[in-house]
Structure 1
Amino acid sequence: MKKILAYSHHLLEEVVRQGDTVMDATCGNGNDTFFLSQLVKEDGNVFAFDIQEKALENTSTLLSKNNIQNVKLIHDGHENCEKYIPTNDELAGAIFNLGYLPKGDHQIITTPQNTIRAIQSILTRLRPNGRIVIVVYHGHMGGKEEKEKVLDFCGNLDQSYYQVLQYQFINQINHPPFIIAIEKLC
């Protein structure tokens, strides 16, 4: 079985193609941004968001080391993504890592209202068969509330238009992360 991060990437590899537009909702240390940039190649576009300057610096450093030119780094919350992605661009995929920046300030966290607002915005731009992959880290202050609200929101998406997957390992201790994946059907 694939581990959580490997499976999150697998879910996007199945639907993202060269030339696509994609979004990293929480660029953090840049690993997902880098991964997405490799999927869409030079003629694709990656919009990478974070509210922390340190996350943008970390991502920028990784991209520079690898001579990546197809990423737009945005110092803003993912809930404001509609301000930055051109209205005529369909999204092939998006990824979130909820929680806090690894090795960063644990007081700066994603919040349920901002995450749900971002998901709603992305859903309006997601192309048919496109996917949103949400890696839910919930073992921190505020994590349980976000987990419950995001699960509730995603679980209530109309099955005529979306299918929603939850992928998790149930025998791990200490609040293991899990995935929620949303695929747009039409």
Structure 2
Amino acid sequence: MKQSQITYWCHEIIRSQAEEGGYYIDATMGKGNDTLFLCELAREKGKVLAFDIQQEALDVTKELLKTHGKEMQAELILDGHEHMDRYAGKESADVICFNFGYLPGGDHNLATTYRTSIEAIGKGLGILKHGGMMSLCIYSGGDTGFEEKEKILEYVKALPGKEYTVIVNEYYNRKNCPPMPVFIFKE
């Protein structure tokens, strides 16, 4: 059942809020599925920036985009998401999405950490346009993520309510630390 997968659900929320042809950022490229989704939203007029620190992620994403004829719509950047402000201007992005954790099928020792993730969220909020949204898919459990999840939730809870609306969701009846989708809307 697709509708219960976190990425499907997050994509539907993004699709309901984002206008086609916008400027989008995939802050954690991974296998490129969010990058491809954002390229489909961007169409010919829009643009996508996608970040990852692993060459494998860039290679897999580049091939995925090429297969779907979307390679010209995205700029793939081998750099940490905490440096996205080097590549995107203030209040320029319509949507920014994150998937915290590690590259699916990759080395679990190479995972996001709360320090760089919170720094990236903060910089992303500065890059986000008024009326834009940020999607956070927080994976925890196993060998990564508990500390990152708690620190991220503390951070977003402290965001000023007059500037941001933060919606935290959870898979309430799932065991084994299911992922947590969080949405931030910039007023």
Shorter chain as denominator, the TM-score bin is over 0.9
2:78 is aligned to 75
How far is 1:89 from its partner?
Answer: 6.2
| 1:71 counterpart letter in structure 2 | A
How far is 1:20 from its partner?
Answer: 0.9
- Aligned residue pair count: 184
Within the candidate set 117, 142, 148, 2:150 is matched to 148
Give distance in 1, aligned partners of 2:91 and 2:65: 23
How far is 1:98 from its partner?
Answer: 0.5
How far is 1:168 from its partner?
Answer: 1.3
| Alpha-carbon displacement from aligned partner over 1:103-129 (angstroms, at most 9, x marks no partner) | 100100001111111111111121122
What SS is found at the alignment partner of 2:48? strand
What SS is found at the alignment partner of 1:127? strand
| Alpha-carbon displacement from aligned partner over 1:59-116 (angstroms, at most 9, x marks no partner) | 001001111111000000000001112x266110011110000010010000111111
**Structure 1 segments unaligned to the other structure (5+ residues):** none
Q: Percent identity?
A: 38
**Structure 2 segments unaligned to the other structure (5+ residues):** none
2:23 is aligned to 21
| 2:35 counterpart letter in structure 1 | T
* TM-score for the superposition, normalised by structure 2: 0.94
Aligned alpha-carbon RMSD (Å): 1.4
Within the candidate set 11, 16, 28, 2:13 is matched to 11
> Which aligned runs of 4 or more in structure 1 are off by greater than 4 angstroms?
none
| 1:81 counterpart letter in structure 2 | M
Contact (CA 8 Å) 1:80, 1:118: kept in 2 or not? yes
* 1:168-179 correspondence to structure 2 within 5 Å: 168-179=170-181
What SS is found at the alignment partner of 1:14? helix
Give distance in 2, aligned partners of 1:18 and 1:164: 23
Give distance in 2, aligned partners of 1:60 and 1:89: 27
1:63 is aligned to 65
Contact (CA 8 Å) 2:25, 2:93: kept in 1 or not? yes
1:116 is aligned to 118
Change (3 A) 1:175 1:122: same
* 1:32-181 correspondence to structure 2 within 5 Å: 32-68=34-70, 69-85=72-88, 87=89, 90-181=92-183
Give distance in 2, aligned partners of 1:124 and 1:46: 17
